[in-house]
């Protein structure tokens, strides 16, 4: 037995035991956080369909041994994500017209087992130990210290729950925070996220706060490298916190490559991703490519124009096009007698119409145009040339412009079929200043005001119509704007 003990001791000296540690992103790494009762925000919201672990596990296999898609392709999941379309409802802004992961995880079979209990630790003698093994142990200890340094507080100690409560008092009241979350919270704070935002992320998708900080940094760094603006990361995480779980190699790169394959320039990729972060939760092969095929084969968009359509409305990638296209095409065909070619032109020029409400968007504007004396054929001409009319506010945009057209510019409504872009121009910044400027210069003839003077840029307008310098016109416009602002302020007072 003495010989046996001595041999065991020598083995331990030569091969020092290595403590087994779980991967930081493993579901076993953290116990599920619980929402404190009596919170101010409300009950915990069940995460949406994109919280499905299938998104995160690219090696998941079916019971038949076939590799499954790492992304949700369920129809139910895609329908659930149509909440992103809320930002592009019919009430749009008038401004429209203007690498591998850090942690390389070993398979279970390759992980070092925990040292057996019962083996006594004995004093280590330098003459009994190999120098290389000591160096390896020292390196491993150093790496562990570097990794744990992400979790250290200002005093060099691992954060405790009491310390976390001091760092994030409001968040601690709402959520039972694990101290191991602190490095991630500190990192995300650099993007402008505050405690209230972390609560929103928790309620939308709780596992997103359990991600290892190095993995999160790798993924966000990749998004920044493809053109996403630093200021847009905050909005993306609030809308789609699952992004922190999407791996670079198996998800993010594949989706970026798909967008580039549509002919979208690199300079626009970041904007598209920022507007529609949910596209990362859709399978490229089972969802996104079929959507593009539908646009080409069923809607009738030219293959060379698909990239432009996606740039104008990235949300089109995450819509149920078979429903949105058919309902709007049938409505315009029945309501205005619109031929298919005209509707296809509308979609090509302004694809946002595929998620405008028919009852709250289409009908009120069509009925307004009818009320000012336009027939269906005239309305169709206007909508085909300037489809974004369907997004303009009735009270703040269309009605004031119509009243100014008739009362001040002395034009008939039918002129809009020739100059539909009049409806897209700013009344305060373009229409009224140019009209008043030409009147002051006595450059306006009797009769209807020429709408063609509203079309060119400022330099061409001053040269061709006003016969004066741009500086003089801009100074006049500034005085007019200040005067109008003062009048509105007095009325409110």
Is the model's pTM score more than 0.75?
Answer: no
pLDDT for 161 equals: 78
Residue partners of 175: CB distance under 8 A and separation at least 6:
33, 34, 35, 36, 39, 198, 199, 202
pLDDT for 139 equals: 53
pLDDT tens, residue by residue, 71-107? 333 333 333 343 344 443 333 333 333 333 333 333 3
For the record, the structure tokens of 19 come out as 């403590």
Above 70 in pLDDT, residue 428?
A: yes
What distance separates the 2 farthest-apart alpha carbons in the chain?
Answer: 119
For the record, the structure tokens of 101 come out as 């992961």
Q: What's the mean pLDDT when you consider all of the chain? A: 76
138 vs 187: CA distance, rounded Å? 28
Query: Percent of the chain beyond pLDDT 90?
Result: 60
Using alpha carbons, select from 221, 205, 161, 209 the residue that is nearest to residue 183: 209
pLDDT tens, residue by residue, 190-217? 999 999 999 999 999 999 999 999 999 9
Above 90 in pLDDT, residue 493?
A: no
pLDDT tens, residue by residue, 349-401? 999 999 999 999 999 999 999 999 999 999 999 999 999 999 999 999 999 99
* 3 state DSSP class of 67: strand
Residue 313 Cα distances to 45, 256, 349, angstroms: 29, 16, 10
Residue partners of 116: CB distance under 8 A and separation at least 6:
none
pLDDT for 469 equals: 95
Residue 109 Cα distances to 12, 105, 136, 322, angstroms: 21, 11, 22, 48
pLDDT for 178 equals: 87
Using alpha carbons, select from 299, 5, 14, 275 the residue that is nearest to residue 133: 14
Structural domains for the chain: 160-274 (1.25.70.10), 350-423 (no CATH), 424-492 (no CATH)
Using alpha carbons, select from 384, 29, 33, 381 the residue that is nearest to residue 215: 29
């Amino acid at each position: 037995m003495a010989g046996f003990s001595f041999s065991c001791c020598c083995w331990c000296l030569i091969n020092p035991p290595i403590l087994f540690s779980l991967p930081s992103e493993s579901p076993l790494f953290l116990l599920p956080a619980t929402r404190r009762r009596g919170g101010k925000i409300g009950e915990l919201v069940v995460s949406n369909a994109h919280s499905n672990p299938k998104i995160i596990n690219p090696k998941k296999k079916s019971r038949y041994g076939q590799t499954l898609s790492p992304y949700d392709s369920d129809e139910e999941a895609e329908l659930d994500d149509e909440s992103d379309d809320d930002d592009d409802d019919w009430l749009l802004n008038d401004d429209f017209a203007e690498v591998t992961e850090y942690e390389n995880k070993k398979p279970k079979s390759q992980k070092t087992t925990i040292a057996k209990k019962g083996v006594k630790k004995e004093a280590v003698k330098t003459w009994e130990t190999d120098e290389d093994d000591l160096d390896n142990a020292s390196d491993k200890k150093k790496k562990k210290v570097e990794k744990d340094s992400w979790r250290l507080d200002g005093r060099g100690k691992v954060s405790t729950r009491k310390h976390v409560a001091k760092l994030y008092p409001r968040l601690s009241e709402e959520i039972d925070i694990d101290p191991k979350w602190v490095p991630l919270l500190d990192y995300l704070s650099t993007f402008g996220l505050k405690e209230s935002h972390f609560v929103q992320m928790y309620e939308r998708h709780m596992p997103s706060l359990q991600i290892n900080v190095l993995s999160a940094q790798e993924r966000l760094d990749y998004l920044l490298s493809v053109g996403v603006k630093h200021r847009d990361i905050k909005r993306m995480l609030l809308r789609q916190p699952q992004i922190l779980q999407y791996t670079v190699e198996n998800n993010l790169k594949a989706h970026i490559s798909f967008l580039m394959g549509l002919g979208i320039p690199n300079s626009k990729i970041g904007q598209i991703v920022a507007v529609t972060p949910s596209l990362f939760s859709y399978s490229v092969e089972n969802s996104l490519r079929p959507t593009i095929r539908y646009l080409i084969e069923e809607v009738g968009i030219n293959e060379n124009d698909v990239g432009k359509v996606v740039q104008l409305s990235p949300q089109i990638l995450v819509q149920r096009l078979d429903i949105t296209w058919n309902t709007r095409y049938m409505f315009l065909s029945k309501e205005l007698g619109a031929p298919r070619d005209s509707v296809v032109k509308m979609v090509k020029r302004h694809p946002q119409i595929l998620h405008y409400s028919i009852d709250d968007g289409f009908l009120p504007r069509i009925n307004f145009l009818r009320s000012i004396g336009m027939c269906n054929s005239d309305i169709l001409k206007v909508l085909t040339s300037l489809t974004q009319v369907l997004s303009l506010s009735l009270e703040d945009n269309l009605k004031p412009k119509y009243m100014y057209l008739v009362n001040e510019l002395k034009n008939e409504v039918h002129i809009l079929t020739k100059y539909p872009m009049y409806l897209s121009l700013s009344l305060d910044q373009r229409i009224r200043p140019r009209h008043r400027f030409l009147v002051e210069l006595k450059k306006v003839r009797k009769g209807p005001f020429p709408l063609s003077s509203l079309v060119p840029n400022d330099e061409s307008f001053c040269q061709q119509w006003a016969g004066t310098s741009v500086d003089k016109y801009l100074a006049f416009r500034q005085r007019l704007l200040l005067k109008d602002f003062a009048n509105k302020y007095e009325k409110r007072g």
